[in-house]
Amino acid sequence: MSAQPHRAGLLLAVVLLALGLGLAAPRADAAAPETVVREQGQQARTLELAVRAQAQLHERERTLLALNRRADARERALLGRKAVLATYGYHGDPERVRAVLPLASYRLSAGFGLTGPLWEAQHGGQDFSTSPGDAIVAVAAGVVSEVAWSGPYGLRTIVTLPDGTEVWYCHQDDVSVYAGQAVEVAERIGSVGSTGNSTGPHLHLEVRPGGGGPIDPLDWLRAEGLAP
């Protein structure tokens, strides 16, 4: 507790004591009635000022206490956010995060550019093998432009970033977002599945700058300072 209200209380007590003594003490010079009235008015104003000062001190203390509580809550929120982001590969300032990894744990499997009987053409993304039902999060903030079944991609969510880059999340078991929704970085968008052309539970991630052809997602993630 601040010492200011205590000092204000002492001040008020002293003023009250002085007023009491001033009103009760006999006057040797038998002052004129108008002088007594004037002095009593001054004493009343002094008392009013002391009471007002004490109220202001109490109000300042309440304001400071509220600000401290707000600052503590913000610090706790930032620490919690930092822990979540670290789970997805980001270890910097939580207020400056641009990108994260799409899964908390995974094994890199089929990479970008592979060819073979599993694909009609070159493999256009990076596969992250993991357990079914694991949370998939947005690697960057953007707007959900599509949530739909898409042939060999299975259940697919497309998030369009502010620069026009499309990020495809494929083979999902379920989704947690809808078309038109704005999503923040590391926000859950769905869960890992094995829908579409898939041999087991995994996330197929594609990155398409400007909505055009795909690039290697690992290169894109590394350019954002991550280590997939």
Residues 165 and 61 in one domain: no
User: 87, 115, 139 — which closes off a domain?
Assistant: 87
CATH no. for residue 219? 2.70.70.10
- Is 102 within the bounds of a domain? no
- Residue % of the chain over a pLDDT of 70: 85
Q: How many domains does the chain have?
A: 2
pLDDT band at 135 (very low <50, low <70, confident <90, very high): very high
pTM confidence score: 0.72
122 and 54 assigned to the same domain? no
Q: Does a structural domain hold residue 48?
A: yes
Residues 118 and 180 in one domain: yes
Residue where a domain stops, chosen among 87, 117, 152: 87
Q: Are residues 123 and 72 in the same domain?
A: no
Average pLDDT on 103-121 reads 86
Boundary (domain end) residue, out of 87, 121, 148: 87
Query: Would you say 62 and 69 are in contact if contact means Cβ atoms under 8 Å apart?
Result: no
User: Is the same domain home to 112 and 180?
Assistant: yes
pLDDT tier, 9 (very low <50, low <70, confident <90, very high otherwise): low
- 96 within a domain of the structure (yes/no): no
Residues 140 and 209 grouped into a single domain: yes
- 78 and 115 both lie in a single domain: no
Residues 146 and 82 reside in one and the same domain: no
| Residue 86, pLDDT above cutoff 50 | yes
What is the C-alpha separation between 161 and 174, in angstroms, rounded?
A: 21
Residues 76 and 168 in one domain: no
Domain range enclosing 185:
107-223
- Rounded-to-integer distance, Cα 193 and Cα 215, Å: 23
| Domain match, 121 and 201 both | yes
Q: Count CB atoms within 10 A of the CB of residue 134.
A: 19
Rounded mean pLDDT of the chain? 86
